[in-house]
Structure 1
Amino acid sequence: MSGKKNKRIEKNKRVWGIDEKPADIKFPEYMITSEKIEDERVKALPDEVRVRIDELHSKSKTKPEEVIPELLRFIEKYPHVPLFYNYLSNAYLIAGNIPDAEKLIVECYNKFPEYLFAKVGYANVLLKKGEGSKVPDIFDDKSNLRDLYPEREVFHISEFVAFTDTLVRYFLFSGQIDRAIPMFENLCPSGEFGLNLNFTP
């Protein structure tokens, strides 16, 4: 009985609910933050465009049809910025336009194979088509963000969640349940969203 209690106490030490976690969480290999991380391509955009990006991202979740034309214009004007492809494919998905979303995801991956959300999006398209055996190549056989991006020490929470969720899907697809379960528990310990500090990919 005391053993179970100790395990529960120990688990509570390393798991935070979404409302309880601090802004930054440090893993042995890297840090996860809820602070915005902009790549150099976004930083180089005009200030008015960067302000509009946040507005479009927020609006795309509730009224995706209204932001699609503007995102298309941004892609035409700034074709070197993968963020716009990511936001547009998400808007298509939320609007229920799966064919255009998947076409754009593949295009984004072909143009920006180093971009994490392009990798994640393409991997999920392949998994949906039953072609999950190609997924390890997308991530260079890496299941740890720091191994995939050794030059980075900080990742946004959305990057961690998207990457981990995709790996869970892949491990389930490939029958590697023993690898899928621990990663899933990092996302949803005890049935609630949170982060497990014993993350060991």
Structure 2
Amino acid sequence: MLHYPLTSYTISSDHELLDKENHISFEVRKILEGIQPDVLKGKSYLLKKLPRLIKQNPRVPVFKNLLATVHKERGEIEQAFKANRWLVKEHPNYLFGRLNLAVEYLDTAPEKIPGILGESMELQALYPNRKEFHIEEFIAFNQIAALYFLAINDLRQAEIRLEMMQSISPEHPKTNYLQERIQQFKLTDHSENQKIMQAHQAPKFNFPLQVQWLYEEDHDFPKNKIATILRLDRKPLIEDLKKVLQDSIIRFNYFIEEEDEIDFLLFPIHAIFFLEELEAEKALPEILEVLSQNEEYYEIIFGDFINEIVNSIIYSFGEHHLDQFFNFLKQPRIYTFSKSYISEAMLLLLKEKPNLREKVQAHYKSLLETFIEKKDDKTLVDQLAYGLIVSDIVELRMNALYPEIKKLYQLRLVDEDVCGTIEEVKKDIFSDPDQIQKDYSLPTASIYGKYEIWKKNYEDFLENEFKELEDEFGNLFDDDIFDDFEEDEDF
């Protein structure tokens, strides 16, 4: 029996785990083993035998699953779908029934799949009370999740699932199949149909009226509306806020085409503020998915306020989820400054919570070792990002990491324009520690304080921008500016 320890659950190859979950006795196991070869051949006698077995064993979902499989193998796709829908209705917690249903929608309506497999597309999130999963459950779930992400043109998330599958069962047929699909995807130009694949329909919310406020309000979010939202039932509210974040990704193209003023696509920031106030740590995967978006998303959604937002996220969720943030930094194809914002936020976290220093340093060590190990991975190597991260380590005076930093320099993986030569790095990292100067009030504020700070920052930004224009062009409201124009009666 094999066990693979993951962050929050274990993967086992022990079939007794599935038998226990699916009410399979020793006698039922013998029956299943006896008919399995004929199921894969679509033998017609099973269309009579399986209904009898289902009637005799109503608590065993596998027989219904096999009935759907037989129809599928015989090319009777509609009957297979009907059998599977019956399976899902009778056994809603049976994973393979859900996966079959997701497959049905892959080509026709992929936007329905998160409603079947969970908004975060994570196995543990779908079954939060389980601490152990069979390897076939793990492989099958992540294969379908990856195929879903390919269907919505999210290659990065699909590759993450493939990497997980390869780490557990690299030779599994489903792993090999997914690898081939991803290779085919890369050879196809998806730029033309990206707009088509993105959904235009808003999610269905538990609290549609209150959630709509997030789409309508700007930096000056009314306090009475904030209070009203916070009084809503916590669990369904968090579900809605997670959907808002996903909506900002799925319908991003739609929003920037439909909105007259794209400067005011602020609803993801509202959702993050509320999730922080609710201490909704289980929403971290959705938040990290937002932070993994490209430069255009960052500019339109976050603008110049991104540092404060990421600092706030790290302050709220960093202490107990350092592994997730540093795993994010190890992922390929992540926007350069997205990584730097997270790394820089660690300075503020350690200023506020210095007891975390040893843990943060251990994570940085693992991160640098990953950079060194994957020195030839062009999807990961980013000299500018590496330089910014090294600068943060130097500012934290984590001189125990100097050997790893030196190795990065020897491999020419660091942009010296960012953090200086290796001699300069050595001098600074071994010097007396300075007071960390990062001083943001936003992270430690309540949600009401966050909005006050955000509003003030935005007003200051507009004032400074206006002042710069006046410095360059003179008084923009000079009454004499119109003197050179002749009066026009038709004007």
* Superposition TM-score tier, normalisation by shorter sequence: 0.7 to 0.9
Partner of 2:23: 42
Partner of 2:143: 165
What is the alpha-carbon distance in structure 2 between the residues aligned to residue 183 and residue 72 of structure 1?
36
Q: 2:103 aligned to 105, 124, 129, which one?
A: 124
Task: Report which of the two has the higher share of helix.
Answer: 2
Partner of 2:4: 25
Residue pair 1:64, 1:92 contacting (<8 A) in 2 also: no
Segments of structure 1 that go 5 or more residues without pairing to the other structure are 1-21
Q: Provide the secondary structure at the position in 2 that maps to 1:80.
A: coil
Q: Which moved more, 1:60-69 or 1:158-167?
A: 60-69
Q: Provide the secondary structure at the position in 1 that maps to 2:7.
A: coil
Higher Rg: 2
Residue pair 1:42, 1:50 contacting (<8 A) in 2 also: no
Matches within 5 A, 1:183-198: 183-188=161-166, 193=171
Partner of 2:78: 99
Q: Which moved more, 1:166-175 or 1:108-117?
A: 108-117
What is the alpha-carbon distance in structure 1 between the residues aligned to residue 128 and residue 37 of structure 2?
31
**TM value normalised by structure 1:** 0.74
Aligned partner of 2:59: which letter?
A: H
Q: Provide the secondary structure at the position in 2 that maps to 1:155.
A: strand
**TM value normalised by structure 2:** 0.32
Residue pair 2:42, 2:71 contacting (<8 A) in 1 also: no
Instruction: Give deviations 1:89-128, integer Å, cap 9, x for gaps.
Output: 1222223222211111112112222211111111111113
2:139 is the alignment partner of 1:137: no
User: Per-residue deviation at 1:145?
Assistant: 1.5
2:47 is the alignment partner of 1:68: yes
Q: Provide the secondary structure at the position in 2 that maps to 1:114.
A: coil
Partner of 1:18: none
What is the alpha-carbon distance in structure 2 between the residues aligned to residue 152 and residue 123 of structure 1?
21
Segments of structure 2 that go 5 or more residues without pairing to the other structure are 176-326, 329-491
Q: Provide the secondary structure at the position in 2 that maps to 1:61.
A: helix
Residue pair 1:136, 1:142 contacting (<8 A) in 2 also: yes
User: Per-residue deviation at 1:41?
Assistant: 5.2
Residue pair 1:187, 1:193 contacting (<8 A) in 2 also: no
Q: Provide the secondary structure at the position in 1 that maps to 2:133.
A: strand
Instruction: Give deviations 1:35-86, integer Å, cap 9, x for gaps.
Output: 112135524x5x4333212222244224643433221211233333211111
The answer to which structure, 1 or 2, has the higher relative contact order (CA under 8 A, 6+ apart) is 1
Q: 1:182 aligned to 143, 150, 160, which one?
A: 160
Residue pair 2:118, 2:125 contacting (<8 A) in 1 also: no
Q: Percent identity?
A: 27
User: Cα distance 1:40–1:175, how it changes in 2: closer, same or farther (>3 A)?
Assistant: closer
Instruction: Give deviations 1:136-185, integer Å, cap 9, x for gaps.
Output: 11123132212211221211111111101110111111121111112123
Q: RMSD over aligned Cα, in angstroms?
A: 2.8
Partner of 2:245: none
